[in-house]
Structure 1
Amino acid sequence: MEKHKIKVDNLNLYYGDNRALHDIKLNIRENSIAALIGPSGCGKSTFLRTLNRMNDLIDNVKITGNVVVDGQSIYAPETDVVSLRKRVGMVFQRPNPFPMSIYDNIAYGPRIHGIKKKAVLDEIVERSLEQSALWDEVKDRLNKSALGLSGGQQQRLCIARLLAVEPDVLLMDEPTSALDPISTLKVEELTQTLKDRYTIIIVTHNMQQAARISDYTSFFLNGFLVESDKTDKIFTTPNDQRTEDYITGRFG
């Protein structure tokens, strides 16, 4: 039986008096790739950030409703937000490697969480780079600056940096929008290998990408979740005319 990793119930988000998300209800299955699509400003990135409480960092944000990860409410008062963001990590639109060596980028998170032994860090660095399909490309220059990598390599490094702290969920906010087609393909292939171990939620403006890599697709419009279903259903026989209009390029 398929297990729901994340359950979102009646989620609303306000920036001051402006309501950006309206009564979002969505279940996300474990070990799947869920794509969030919709025109710019529709609320999909805002929604993504509610899943690890990144919106807490923005002034004047109010959230009602609930997000449950592995049976626990992440908005409960006792929630440890640092621990939550370790379990539910995020990859951003533009690669953001730290200005330090490739090795130190990957070892950064484990060191913060108390791992000091070099042998253990070496193992984590190699495993994380292997998982992000980057090891063979960088194993001979681990002590060189991460800023010397190409854009696509930097984005896979950021994914490796996330994997080093052993999350359960990967949130990806348009992770290939700044990349060339070859680098985009590598990241897409990477998501397919990672979903065996992780639950992945990806915001994308690229309809072809959503159709290629996701198992489920959710269509957002003006802060509302219009519909969510298996990707092939959304792209072939959506229930809502607005979904079809967006996917076929009539607006957005």
Structure 2
Amino acid sequence: MVAEYKIKADKLNLYYGDHKALHDIQLNIEQNGIYALIGPSGCGKSTFLRTLNRMNDLIDGVKIDGSVVIDGQNIYDTETDVVSLRKRVGMVFQRPNPFPMSIYDNIAYGPRIHGTKNKATLDVIVEKSLKQAALWEEVKDRLNKSALGLSGGQQQRLCIARLLAVEPDVLLMDEPTSALDPISTLKVEELSQELKERYTIVIVTHNMQQAARISDYTSFFLNGYLVESNKTDKIFTNPTDQRTEDYITGRFG
């Protein structure tokens, strides 16, 4: 049976100690496409994003109730293999974080961890992943050079390629262009448009123009609540909640 939605958050609450950071989040995310999460700083966007691959598990004092169902399985079930989950649901962070090793070894790192040792197989994975991340032509002659020598924009695309190398289903992006210059930002946005044909992408952004440009659906968070979620053009042209309109038009945030 094919799941109705790729991701389904149901009555999701999250606490940092005594502080309740997410309140009864209900959000359905379909297969493929780009989902933008918008809202002012501290409103729960990144916290929600991290619930989708259990990154919040790494923070002391976090408690979660409710469910997040991916491909029909609640990822908060006790038998969930979290390592396998994070392989399927990968994350790109705000600042590029290449490993201090060669470009080649950055991409091959994940497949090696998961048991791929054959050099010819790794060569194919590295080339394919870099091509998918629109980086191959720029780095193919220096694969054995340090990834730290790449520009910021190239490093971010390298981090995306590193995710793609382990064949995920979902890409989580936490403000992936906030530390990049406009040209690098455009390249990552164009890349996202290409990747959505094969992956489900959930992106946190503070950039309203970016959300309007690249996303298919937009969800507005405020003070830990999901105010509304809809197709992006509807959110930006005819939101149902006044608070959404006030945020989008710059009255607060």
TM superposition score category, shorter chain reference? over 0.9
Q: Distance in 2 between matches of 1:32 and 1:95?
A: 23
What are the residue-to-residue correspondences of 1:1-252 with 2, within 5 Å? 3-252=4-253
AA matched with 2:141 = D
Shift of 1:3: 4.8
Shift of 1:32: 1.0
1:159-207 C-alpha deviation (Å, 9 max, x unpaired): 0000000000000000000000000000000000000110000000000
Q: Distance in 1 between matches of 2:243 and 2:108?
A: 46
Q: Distance in 2 between matches of 1:193 and 1:36?
A: 19
Q: Distance in 2 between matches of 1:143 and 1:82?
A: 28
Q: Does the 8 A contact of 1:2 with 1:30 survive in 2?
A: no
Q: Distance in 1 between matches of 2:51 and 2:68?
A: 8
Alignment RMSD, CA only? 1.0
Shift of 1:2: 10
Q: Distance in 1 between matches of 2:38 and 2:32?
A: 19
Shift of 1:115: 0.2
Partner secondary structure for residue 210 of structure 1? helix
Q: Distance in 2 between matches of 1:15 and 1:235?
A: 32
Shift of 1:4: 1.4
AA matched with 1:59 = D
Gapped regions of structure 1 (runs ≥ 5): none
Gapped regions of structure 2 (runs ≥ 5): none
Q: Distance in 2 between matches of 1:209 and 1:3?
A: 28
Q: Distance in 2 between matches of 1:13 and 1:137?
A: 42
- CA 1:2 to 1:238, structure 2 compared with 1: closer, same or farther past 3 Å? farther
Q: Does the 8 A contact of 2:3 with 2:71 survive in 1?
A: no
Partner secondary structure for residue 125 of structure 2? helix
Partner secondary structure for residue 15 of structure 2? strand
Aligned residues: 252
Q: Does the 8 A contact of 2:3 with 2:72 survive in 1?
A: no
Partner secondary structure for residue 141 of structure 1? coil
AA matched with 1:41 = G
